[in-house]
Amino acid sequence: MLDKLLSLDAEIFVFLNGLGSETYDGLWLLITKQSNWIPLFLVLLYVIFKNLGAKQTLYLLLFVAVLVTFTDQSANVFKREFHRLRPCNNPEINSFIRIVQIRNSFSFFSGHATNSMAVAAFLYFNFKDKIKYFGFLFLWPLIFAYSRIYLGLHYPLDILAGYLFGFTSGFVFLKVYKIAQERYFPQPT
């Protein structure tokens, strides 16, 4: 069963990766680099600040920092445990896929997908009732993680597992954040 799933995963990867073109390689290299998302992060910071004020924004950012550290390090632990070769390093397929970028670390599961989905879920559930159309924030992890398939660095299951772990982590951290927020920033009654 697992072999069939991994085979299907590789087939889907080959198809999605094959949709790429040298014309767009530069764009996807820009998309995959975390620092190129700083304008989005600054807009989010501004929106959060306008909704929460300085003190609570700093408190929320502390939670986001701990969340990203947790998800990033968790992804690294899983990679070391599963030892799944990245597509670009897999001798069974690397001779006929598009390889735009190479990494020597393992593949399962994607840290990019995990971190971006965790932050998106955490922020979405915090602000969905306060900010209209805030659900569009989920476009960020979708585009960000697809770049990893495009570049030849992750299989779709790496992305999906990262999304699941990230979403769950973001939701759990939200619950802890809400409990702490009630304790340290009680709403006046």
Q: Please, which pLDDT band fits residue 132 given cuts at 50, 70 and 90?
A: confident
Phi, psi of 30, deg, nearest 5: -65, -45
Residue 106 · residue 90 · CB < 8 Å: no
Q: What is the structure's pLDDT at 84?
A: 94
pLDDT, tens digit (0-9, with 9 covering 90-100), for 173-185: 999 999 998 887 7
DSSP string, 5-69: HHHHHHHHHHHHHHT--HHHHHHHHHHH-GGGGHHHHHHHHHHHHHHH-HHHHHHHHHHHHHHHH
HSE-up of residue 69 (Cα within 13 Å, Cβ side): 6
Six-digit token string for 172: 């759990």
Phi, psi of 11, deg, nearest 5: -65, -45
DSSP annotation of 85 reads: P
Q: Please, which pLDDT band fits residue 188 given cuts at 50, 70 and 90?
A: low
